[in-house]
């Protein structure tokens, strides 16, 4: 799942900032907004709605999981 978009953890210590992305919600089929981390000079290989990546990386002492395909919060 993911953090509510108004409760995303501070990633300024990682040099990033949050944007919002709209993705289809699998269980109910309607679009939902999730946080998408953006870092300077880095482009994610996928757009969130088309992401097929299934691996993330943990940040912030294991409290934040970011998808390495599209940068969305996958915590």
User: Among residues 2 and 40, whose Cβ is nearest to Zn ion?
Assistant: 2
Distance CA 75, CA 37 (A): 12
CA distance 45 to 9: 23
Q: Least CB distance from residue 60 to Zn ion, whole Å?
A: 18
Total interface residues for Zn ion by CB under 5 A: 5
Among residues 75, 28, 71, the alpha carbon closest in space to that of 51 is found at: 71
Instruction: Lay out the site mask for Zn ion across 30-69 (x = CB under 5 A, - = otherwise).
Output: ---------------------x-x-------------x-x
Q: Is 70 in the site for Zn ion (CB under 5 A)?
A: yes
Strands 56-59 and 31-38: unpaired
Residues in contact with Zn ion by CB under 5 A are: 51, 53, 67, 69-70
């Amino acid at each position: 799942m993911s953090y509510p978009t108004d409760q995303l953890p501070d990633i300024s210590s990682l040099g990033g900032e949050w944007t919002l992305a709209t993705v289809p919600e699998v269980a109910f089929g309607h679009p939902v907004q999730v946080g998408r981390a953006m870092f300077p000079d880095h482009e994610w290989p996928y757009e969130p709605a088309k992401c097929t990546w299934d691996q993330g990386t943990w940040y912030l002492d294991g409290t934040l999981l970011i998808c390495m395909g599209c940068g969305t919060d996958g915590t």
